[in-house]
Amino acid sequence: MDNKRGLVPRKIKGFRDIDANLNELRWNIINKASKVYQSYGFEHLDTPILEYAECLGKYMPDEDTVDKGVYSFKNPEIEPVFRADGKRELRDADNNVVMDHAFLSMRYDLTAPLSRVYAERLWTRAIKNQLVEGTAPLFRRYQFGPVFRYETKLDPGRFRQFWQLDFDTVGSSDVASDAEVCMILSDALKAIGLAQSDFKIRVNNRKILKGFLHGQGITTPLQEQAILRVIDKLDKIGLRGIEFELGKGRKDKSGAIIPGLGLDEKMVSNFLSFFEIFSESDMNRGQVIEALGEKIGNNEVSKEGLQELNRINSVLAESGLSDEAVLFDPTLVRGMAYYTGPIFEVESTQFYLDHKGRERRVGSICGGGRYDGLVKQLLGVNVPATGASIGVDRLAELLTLTNRGGTAQGPLLITVLDKEMMPEYQKIAKELREGGVNTEVYYGPNQGFKKLKKQLSYADDKNCPIIILLGSDEFEKGVVSVRDLKMGREIADEVTDKKEWRARVQHEVSRTDLVSFVNQLLNK
RNA sequence: GCCGCCGUAGCUCAGCUGGUUAGAGCGCUGGUUUGUGGAUCCAGAGGUCAAGGGUUCGAAUCUCUUCGGUGGUACCA
């Protein structure tokens, strides 16, 4: 029996190949957004794909395997191990430095590497206790690139490698910088090509909810998390669903039983009365602030949160961001536990039809918030930070699904009618490239007169704007046949006659005028 | 992770109350056209019916397990 392991070319589950069209879309998103980020003063930072697992804020995995959604493995080289205070290497009984293999992780977002970079720069000051809260330097950077998560269930549109496009401000506790996050997101999405009506930026402040929960006697982080998680589902399951999940639990339409948190009825009704006026309301930002003021009473944390919202509102108002563009939504939660203040989410308002004709939506395309405690794990000091991230792949998917993806433009193609004329083809190609035209000479099989058709379909598949035909006929006349495929595609529906079609798109051009003629066609 | 549905050619699917050589459309290859897109017409290649076990004289069809997909649900630093 043949028990040798075989080789099959295949892609790892949850990863994907990106074709020319998607790449064009992706880079268009990145370039447009980056320009906006730069215009606000953010600098471009890149960090490695791999980091020490401990620096990413995850627990040390005990085996070299995927741990809690993070791809990790043991570094093949050995390095000194540090003492708990981080100031020195750990020593063994003989006073030798302890060496070991560190665990490395692939980054699961761009925020954790940012805090590593920031903390690394301040490290010497921190261990000398020279770092005082409130004096940490300002650092603003943007970053994009792939991040990796080991997802166990791969829903459509959810991948194990995907791109993020982040911008963050570290070192400012002023919530005006949170208002700025909204401005940047709005500018960036518009630069990418979305209309104002295509998206809504929703804003909330964790402090308001937190204070309210405290007022209700919810104090442990675990309880808090559980309740926030339920509230997060409001727009999905509605007030009734929230009522059941906070209380006794419920059965969903598939028959699955969702256990409830078992809060008592009094508390549940308090929650409901807090949220009901905000669920599906069309209050403007000022009205939400007013309504919240009545709801939160004297709770200090909530009041602080409300004041912050107020400040954000006044900045937004002066920045021309309307109540339609940015709205305050006290029911917004967001999953991540590390957010400490204002939180943001950008929701696409677009619907699309899936292949079975069902109406669907892409949902959240950006997210972010203030995370004043993130660097603390590394430096022991709170450093304020806020920022947001555009989900590049989500957004690309949205643009594709709503037919705004576009097709990547191919090069001009020089067909090969006669192999003997290859030097001439190369010469023309060189001239065209020097004239600024992307030019490909056909190298595939099917060269020659008889196989021209194959070369033409190749050009078609590659979305080439122009093809050039040069055989002995043309050569003797000192001309080149130039076919405008781009125009050909445009008139294909109205012109059905083959000969007429060819007459309209194909031109004989003198060899000497070729480059300028081609450029004329391309710039038309 | 849990529950439901599904898994037949590169793609979309038909065939399934078990019965001889498993079909279609699109795509692909060649021809129609010894130098011209899409179209037309003709021909051809391509499948151990997801994998493995069971029931049976006989399984794409029934059954079990695994894997993969999908719709919910949970999780999402």
**pLDDT tens-digit profile of A65-81?**
555 678 888 899 999 99
Per-residue pLDDT tens over the stretch A260-318:
787 888 888 888 888 888 877 788 999 999 999 988 888 899 999 999 999 999 999 99
Strands A412-414, A439-441: pairing is parallel
Q: What is the dihedral of CA A291, A293, A299, A303, to 10 degrees?
A: 120
Give yes or no for CB of A53 within 7 Å of strand B: no
Burial of A239 (0-12, 13-18, 19+ CB in 10 A): middle
Cβ neighbours for A248, distance < 8 A, ≥ 6 positions apart: A260, A262
Q: What are the beta bridge partners of residue A364?
A: A347
Count of alpha carbons within 13 angstroms of residue A425, beta-carbon side: 23
Answer with the residue of higher pLDDT: A500 or A116.
A116
Least confident of A8-17, A113-122, A143-152, A174-183: A8-17
Per-residue pLDDT tens over the stretch A384-443:
999 999 999 889 888 887 777 777 888 999 998 888 889 999 999 999 999 999 999 988
Contact A425, A470 (CB under 8 A): yes
The protein residue nearest nucleotide B73, judged by CA to C1', is A256
Burial of A273 (0-12, 13-18, 19+ CB in 10 A): exposed
The protein residue nearest nucleotide B71, judged by CA to C1', is A254
Residue % of chain A over a pLDDT of 90: 44
Alpha-carbon gap, residue A442 to A403, rounded angstroms: 31
The pLDDT of residue A297: 81
Unique residue bearing structure tokens 């598949």: A461
Give yes or no for CB of A266 within 7 Å of strand B: no
Give yes or no for CB of A252 within 7 Å of strand B: yes
Write down the ipTM of this complex: 0.80
Burial of A285 (0-12, 13-18, 19+ CB in 10 A): buried
What is the pLDDT confidence band of residue A515, given thresholds at 50, 70 and 90? very high
Q: How many other CB atoms are found less than 10 A from the CB of residue A485?
A: 22
Answer with the residue of higher pLDDT: A295 or A7.
A295
Give yes or no for CB of A338 within 7 Å of strand B: yes
Mean pLDDT to the nearest integer, A319-345: 89
Give yes or no for CB of A251 within 7 Å of strand B: no
Q: Provide residues 157-196 of A with CB closer than 7 Å to any strand B atom.
A: none
User: Residue A499 pLDDT > 80, yes or no?
Assistant: no
Mean pLDDT to the nearest integer, A218-243: 83
| Nearest nucleotide over every DNA/RNA strand to the A229 CA, judged by C1' | B75
Max mean pLDDT among A227-236, A240-249, A351-360, A427-436 falls in A427-436
Give yes or no for CB of A387 within 7 Å of strand B: no
The pLDDT of residue A250: 67
Residue–nucleotide distance: A75 CA to B8 C1' (Å): 46
Looking at residue A380, the DSSP 8-state letter turns out to be S
The pLDDT of residue A451: 79
Give yes or no for CB of A352 within 7 Å of strand B: no
User: Residue A508 pLDDT > 80, yes or no?
Assistant: yes
Give yes or no for CB of A453 within 7 Å of strand B: yes
User: Residue A1 pLDDT > 50, yes or no?
Assistant: no
Give yes or no for CB of A362 within 7 Å of strand B: no
Residue–nucleotide distance: A479 CA to B37 C1' (Å): 22
**Residue A305 CA from chain centroid, whole number:** 28
Residue–nucleotide distance: A498 CA to B37 C1' (Å): 9
Helix A392-401 and helix A20-39: axis angle, to 10°? 120
Give yes or no for CB of A417 within 7 Å of strand B: yes
Q: How far apart are the first and last CA of chain A?
A: 66
Contact A384, A172 (CB under 8 A): yes
The pLDDT of residue A349: 86
Per-residue pLDDT tens over the stretch A26-66:
999 999 999 999 999 999 999 999 999 888 875 545 555 55
Mean pLDDT to the nearest integer, A241-250: 80
Mean pLDDT to the nearest integer, A324-349: 89
Length of chain A: 524
Residue–nucleotide distance: A496 CA to B38 C1' (Å): 9
The pLDDT of residue A64: 55
Strands A43-44, A139-148: pairing is parallel
- Mean pLDDT score across all residues of chain A: 86
Residue–nucleotide distance: A112 CA to B77 C1' (Å): 9
For A3, A151, A368, the CA distances from A466, given in Å and listed in that order, are 53, 44, 45
Per-residue pLDDT tens over the stretch A439-462:
999 887 777 777 788 888 888 888
What is the pLDDT confidence band of residue A256, given thresholds at 50, 70 and 90? low
Residue–nucleotide distance: A485 CA to B41 C1' (Å): 26
Contact A97, A88 (CB under 8 A): no
Give yes or no for CB of A121 within 7 Å of strand B: no
The pLDDT of residue A257: 65
The pLDDT of residue A303: 94
Listed as ranges, the nucleotides of chain B within 7 A of a protein C-beta are: 1-4, 28-31, 33-38, 68-77
Per-residue pLDDT tens over the stretch A144-182:
999 998 887 777 778 889 999 999 999 999 999 999 999
For A39, A482, A490, A506, the CA distances from A487, given in Å and listed in that order, are 37, 12, 5, 10
